[in-house]
Structure 1
Amino acid sequence: MTRSFDINQFNYRSTGFGQPLVWSHGLLGCMQSEDALGIYAWHRFPKKLTLLRYDACGHGLSASSSHKSDYLWTSLANDLQQLILKVLPNQSVVLGGQSMGCGSSLFAALNQPDKVKGLILMNPPTAWELRAAQHDYYIKVAKAAKILGGKGLAKINAKHIDRMLPPWLIEAHKHSVLGMLDGLKSMKRSSLEPLFLAAAENDLPSQAPLTQLHIPCLILAWDNDANHPLSIANTLASLLPLAELHEAKNMADVDEWPSLITNFCLKLA
């Protein structure tokens, strides 16, 4: 099946010079929502490194699709590879991402391991048996999204933000945490339904190939988050041969994440 999403319809931003980090956001996120939440501190990312960020298909200011296949993580990984080829040709990169971005980054790394110098996996999503258990939930959300659209879903999520983030993070960012829903408000019914239908099918790569991925990997995770269980982060840390896991137990730990990301990239430069 021909990919219906054109790589030239990406909204992306590249800053700095040097070793590239290519960052992929999470489901329903975008560059705008990441900046609104404030925990990434991308404005402090050193200019001697290249930072390439983008809005995935159907998110933020990138074009959307009405085809479920365009939102599968394997398809998003292909998009990621095409974007790198366009913006950073002939360069080896560090791939990083949050939640959904972990999926696209891992599949891209498995596709072309010789082009990936490092991996950063922030808040890995549910996977394997836990992912399968969420299938019916995503189907229900897909039906609701077709009726409510982005604004309706954002309104509901705003009332249940405590189900999306640890309480200590909400308390620390209570004035900005709802900004993470800004990107969702503009999302269309025609793209939200297939996006969630794809979410029902999406999963991280099977475990066996991950044990052969000899790429330095930084895993950042927190507990008390059903959508990003610490158990998945621990499993990834045990499977990936060169992985190190940092668990955040409070806001002070999360505040260290930007420095951990920077230092990881600098070591690979």
Structure 2
Amino acid sequence: MPQSFDINKFNYRSTGFGSPLVWSHGLLACMQSEDALGIYAWHRFPKKLTLLRYDACGHGLSASSNNKTDYLWTNLATNIEQLISAVLGDQTVILGGQSMGCASSLFTALNHPDKVKGLILMNPPTAWKLRASQHDYYIKVAKAAKILGGKGLAKINANHIDRMLPPWLIEAHKHSVLGMLDGLKSMKRSSLESIFLAAAENDLPSHEQLSQLHIPCLILAWDNDVNHPLSSAKTLASLLPSSELHQAKNMADVDEWPQLIIDFCLKLA
């Protein structure tokens, strides 16, 4: 089980006054790094809707943990449920997230399908057989993280940013793309080790579980990203009964994502 919930340990931000979207960032990211990268355009999100964003456990300005289980996607989902209860009360919400945030949102929806009226899954992570094949890789990174810490990992990733994002996105955001590593730089060695040990165990829900999730779902994905393969997005689109997939092939397609998110939320408000 995750640590007992204390809202004061979480850095969160709630804006707007209407139907809520609860957004969860990806692994090693945070609100600051999302804003630095610049593709989300949260400043355009309408004030007649509520937007609740937060830094997950061990990320950004939220408190960290040295306990691997606190970083399992199922337990991150529990944190989402607790945060919603503390900030939004008993409201029905739309859940959304990128990569890790996509996974924790899915588990939250499976736990409380009656409380979730929509899902936005951006860049779904590796899953199922492909995820299992990466087990040893995550164990290796966990050992490296214990030695190098956040700054060391950020330096290495900065030198290999072309392995993390499509080339057209790097070119379009060449002045801000390294901002996606801002959250990583301040992360602690011990919590980073636990995060990657958890990553070795994490996986998306089973195909059978997903096929039972009758919730409107917007899936946003791009190709040429080994950590977020298009195959994950396509499989989710085939399994989730009420889903639509938008595949970005260039920066112009990604530039449409903020409006797609807004339109989806307004439709379900």
TM-score past 0.5 threshold: yes
Deviation, 1:5, is 5.9
What is the alpha-carbon distance in structure 1 between the residues aligned to residue 42 and residue 18 of structure 2? 16
The alignment status of 1:174 with 2:199, answered yes or no, reads no
Q: Distance in 2 between matches of 1:106 and 1:84?
A: 15
CA distance in 1, matches of 2:224, 2:133: 18
Report percent identity of matched pairs: 85
Give CA deviations for 1:229-266 in whole Å, capped at 9, x if unaligned: 00110000000000000000000000000000000000
Structure 1 unaligned spans of 5+: none
Equivalence for 1:73: 73
1:3 Cα offset (Å): 2.1
Q: Residue 212 of structure 2 corresponds to which residue in structure 1?
A: 212
What does 1:229-240 correspond to in 2, within 5 Å?
229-240=229-240
Q: Give yes or no for the alignment of 1:149 onto 2:149.
A: yes
SS for the counterpart of 1:138 is helix
Q: Residue in 1 aligned with 2:47?
A: 47
* 1:123 and 1:233 in contact (8 A); partners too: yes
- CA separation in 2, counterparts of 1:7 and 1:164? 32
**2:197 matched to which residue of 1?**
197
For 1:99, the equivalent position in structure 2 comes to: 99
Q: Tell me the secondary structure at the aligned position of residue 81 of structure 2.
A: helix
Q: Classify the secondary structure of the residue corresponding to 1:162.
A: helix
Contact preservation (8 Å) 2:26, 2:99: yes
Q: Deviations over 1:65-123 (max 9, x none)?
A: 00000000000000000000000001000000000001100000000000001000000
3-state DSSP of counterpart to 2:149: helix
**Once the two structures are superposed, what CA deviation does each residue of 1:35-54 show, in whole Å capped at 9, x if it has no partner?**
00000000010000000000
Deviation at 1:7, TM superposition (A): 3.7
Partner of residue 120, structure 1: 120
TM-score, normalisation: structure 2: 0.99
What TM-score results when the alignment is normalised by the length of structure 1?
A: 0.99
Alpha-carbon distance between aligned partners in 1 of 2:166 and 2:223, rounded to the nearest angstrom: 8
Which 4+ residue blocks in structure 1 deviate beyond 4 angstroms?
Answer: none
Aligned counterpart, 1:29: 29
Question: 1:213-228 counterparts in 2 under 5 A?
Answer: 213-228=213-228
- Report the CA distance between 1:2 and its aligned residue: 5.9
Q: Which residue of 2 aligns with 1:186?
A: 186
Is the 2:23–2:51 Cα contact (8 Å) retained in structure 1? yes
* Paired residues of 1:5 and 1:64 also in contact (CA < 8 A): no
Aligned residues: 269
| 1:264 alignment counterpart | 264
Q: Is the contact between residue 5 and residue 82 of structure 2 (CA under 8 Å) also seen in structure 1?
A: no
SS of the residue aligned with 1:13?
Answer: strand
Paired residues of 1:29 and 1:181 also in contact (CA < 8 A): yes
CA contact (8 A) 1:4 1:70 kept: no
2:14 maps to what in 1?
14
Contact 2:2 2:70 in 1 (8 A): no
SS in 2 for 1:247: strand
Offset, 1:4: 5.5
CA RMSD of aligned residues (A): 0.8
Secondary structure of 2:218 counterpart: strand
